[in-house]
Amino acid sequence: MSIDVDPVSTTARTASAAAHATTVPAAPTTAPTVAQGTPEDARWLRRAVELATANVAEGGGPFGAVVVAGGVEVAVGQNRVTRDLDPTAHAEVQAIRAACREAGSFALDGMTLYTSCEPCPLCLAACLWARLDRVVFSADRHDASRGGFDDSAFYELFARDRGTWDRTRVHELRLPESTRPFDAWLTHAARTDY
């Protein structure tokens, strides 16, 4: 599995970063730099941005996404957090869920997800779980931050020791039966691996 994350709208920044790569190490909070997008990418990305913009007037958050396979639209997603009272109803997650229903599969190998904004950690993990081939985004986490969204703050939080988190404190408590679910899984011959 390979997932490329292509920041199409940051071509200039990417080129600049590459030019200074030997002297200025990339900041840990900066999006990964990979291959530039294609004209086809830009066309689908504009579709995602249109979905995001239209969603605002419809009562949703300013995020949209499209899943594409072989140049064909498989499914779209728009942010439904406030409309559905679902904090996980991000555009990318919505698009992945719809694409999986359409494909009849829990894996989206060979497909590309275009999203109006750099995926937050939740969505990026969802893209990995979905086995998408590529993710292409337009606005970045800093644009999202200016819009009032926590994407950038969450990335910075994940880079810190959990013991220093000032929100949603996470604790580990080992029980004697902690690994029992995995034992059950591994001995269940009829399991569906994923």
Catalytic residues: 92
Distance of CA 88 to the CA centre of its chain: 12
Enumerate residues 45-104 that contact Zn ion by CB under 5 A. Answer: 90
**Could you tell me the smallest distance in angstroms from the CB atom of residue 154 to Zn ion?**
9
Q: E strands of 127-185, at which residues? A: 134-139
CA distance 77 to 98: 7
**Residue that is written with structure tokens 């999006």 in the block:** 31
- Among residues 120 and 136, whose Cβ is nearest to Zn ion? 120
Residue 124 in contact with Zn ion, rule: CB under 5 A: no
- Among residues 52 and 120, whose Cβ is nearest to Zn ion? 120
Enumerate residues 27-46 that contact Zn ion by CB under 5 A. Answer: none
Residue 123 in contact with Zn ion, rule: CB under 5 A: yes
**Could you tell me the smallest distance in angstroms from the CB atom of residue 27 to Zn ion?**
21
- Among residues 69 and 122, whose Cβ is nearest to Zn ion? 122
Among 91, 98, 102, 139, which Cα is nearest to 118's? Answer: 139
CA distances to 119, 120, 135, 148, 149 from 152, in Å: 10, 8, 18, 10, 8
- Among residues 17 and 81, whose Cβ is nearest to Zn ion? 81
> For Zn ion, which residue of 68, 99, 120, 130 counts as binding (CB under 5 A)?
120
Residue 122 in contact with Zn ion, rule: CB under 5 A: yes
**Could you tell me the smallest distance in angstroms from the CB atom of residue 88 to Zn ion?**
8
- Between CA 125 and CA 135, with CA 131 as vertex, the angle to 5 degrees is 70
Residue 151: how many other CB atoms lie within 10 Å: 24
**Could you tell me the smallest distance in angstroms from the CB atom of residue 151 to Zn ion?**
7
Among 113, 105, 101, 85, which Cα is nearest to 8's? Answer: 113
Binding site for Zn ion (CB under 5 A): 90, 120, 122-123
